[in-house]
Amino acid sequence: MNKLTIREARAADIPAILPVLEAARGIMVASGNTSQWQAGYPAAGDILRDIARGGGFVVLEGERIVAYFAFLPSPEPTYSVIYGGRWLDDTRPYHVIHRLASYPEVHGIFRTVLDWCSAREENLRIDTHRDNHIMQHCILGYGFRYCGIILLLNGDERLAYQKL
């Protein structure tokens, strides 16, 4: 296995990122999470917006793009209100991890991405769908604490986590 490396995504990477997102959708559906990331989300436009903000990243195995994620600075508008709990710290700046997707056959992606993010920011937030049990397991296993429920702009709820 080649070493996993991370670099900023570029617009030219979009054709290699889209199949990664499609593979992640397949993982979700196969594990019973049939409503997250449907109807074409995330799409090329979402990735281009991440890149424009300096927050789109790819994970490479050798030269091959095997994962994508967004690592964006606060504030995250959908995190301004949290239900059924509270953030561990709601005063300091934070970074949020969004759109983490990988090919199923490549292992160690979550830890590689979170180690990279943790080396750049000590206050991290992440959210996931209630039916995304794989991601919940990874998030809690990495030391995040469940904080409550946030609502996306479309009104869908997500389970929200923070790690300090």
- What are the pLDDT digits (tens) for 37-46? 877 889 999 9
At residue 160, does pLDDT exceed 60?
Answer: yes
Q: In the predicted model, what is the mean pLDDT of residues 29-37? A: 86
Number of domains in the chain: 1
Distance CA 82, CA 145 (A): 14
Reported as a single tens digit per residue, the pLDDT across 1-19 is 569 999 999 999 999 999 9
Which of 74, 43, 60 shows the shortest CA–CA distance to 9? Answer: 60
Per-residue model confidence (pLDDT) at position 118: 98
Which of 67, 78, 50, 59 shows the shortest CA–CA distance to 103? Answer: 67
At residue 157, does pLDDT exceed 90?
Answer: yes
pTM as predicted: 0.94
Per-residue model confidence (pLDDT) at position 34: 84
- Average pLDDT over the chain, rounded to an integer: 95
| 32: containing domain | 4-163
CATH number at residue 126: 3.40.630.30
CB-based contact 48:68 (threshold 8 Å): no
HSE at residue 144, side-chain half, CA atoms within 13 A, is 28
Distances in Å between the Cα of 4 and the Cα atoms of 9, 79, 154 are 15, 30, 35
